[in-house]
Copies of this chain bind each other. A is one copy, B any other.
């Protein structure tokens, strides 16, 4: 029995972790923290979990987390790094869902996140938790940095093409559309129903904090300098990331060869489906799958990749559990299919 804690469990990722872990017989969620909701029952904050989860939130004391085997940290970036060092001591393993341990470079972090990094000593040790790249490293990690939702879709969409040197590594365009749950549980006026419904808006054009994450992970995995233009958009749906990638092909190949190459690259990845139809969010919603479709635009010789996930599952809680499974030597898809 894996004893788990969830730190910062009052938000959407926390709720999703609780929901996905509730069905497991081999995992027991022992403690859930949420400072603002301390003392409240979990099902008072997440009524959907009534009858499924019988726990109450407690305030976080990171150095006294007690006897757990793994702590999931679902705090905002900037908050997570304040507690992860102590958690790493008190819990056996830590899976951090924030952006705090995904970049190796402190200056890049501080440039894009806009505040100092207070635990730089852990950056070199943290393993980027994208199993399709780092399965081996994750298996032995003590601290996993769970990938961002946009990077998960973008990196999985680009990885085979970059690794096989099919495309120019510069000038890549990534347009992503995100459901609103990606912004977290928030009362921000711009996330109110009336502002989002029947609307679309781009945001953080050219300066989103996921840009260095996408670039550095792709560089590390492909051994090439990568430069992307990334434009995220908010669209009126609750869940899902829809990422459309355009890149210049450097080689001549058929669409069938391309599909085979992608299928081959992901032959051991139980949650990546290389599909022949154009991907749709509804095919991955409420699942841990990433659906990828690849097309060659004959007229321009460009590659068009579409990569789709559920931002709360493969983009957050599901991938965290996938990482946990790997860390504890379980089949990677336990509890996720």
Contact of A221 with B by CB under 8 A: no
A47 to B201, CA, bound (A): 13
The answer to whether A201 touches B302 (Cβ under 8 A) is: no
The answer to whether A196 touches B193 (Cβ under 8 A) is: yes
A246 to B278, CA, bound (A): 22
In residues 155-193 of chain A, which contact B (Cβ within 8 Å)? Answer: 171, 173, 175, 177, 179-181, 185-189, 191-193
The answer to whether B236 touches A236 (Cβ under 8 A) is: yes
Mask: chain A, 219-240; 1 = CB below 8 Å from B; 0 = not: 0000000010101010111111
Contact of A304 with B by CB under 8 A: yes
A198 to B310, CA, bound (A): 11
A306 to B200, CA, bound (A): 11
Q: How far is the CB of A92 from chain B (nearest CB, A)?
A: 28
The answer to whether B278 touches A200 (Cβ under 8 A) is: no
In residues 281-337 of chain A, which contact B (Cβ within 8 Å)? Answer: 281-287, 289, 291, 295-300, 302, 304, 306, 308, 337
A201 to B283, CA, bound (A): 10
Residues of chain B within 8 A (CB-CB) of A273 are 50-51
Q: How far is the CB of A180 from chain B (nearest CB, A)?
A: 4
**The stretch of A60-68, A119-127, A135-143, A202-210 that contacts the partner chain:** A202-210
Q: How far is the CB of A75 from chain B (nearest CB, A)?
A: 18
Residues of chain B within 8 A (CB-CB) of A51 are 270, 273, 289, 337
Q: How far is the CB of A292 from chain B (nearest CB, A)?
A: 12
A229 and B304 contact, Cβ closer than 8 Å, known pairs A175-B244, A246-B173? yes
The answer to whether A235 touches B299 (Cβ under 8 A) is: no
Nearest first, the 10 closest Cβ-Cβ pairs linking A and B are: A206-B297, A193-B196, A200-B242, A187-B189, A199-B282, A175-B175, A47-B283, A201-B280, A180-B193, A48-B283
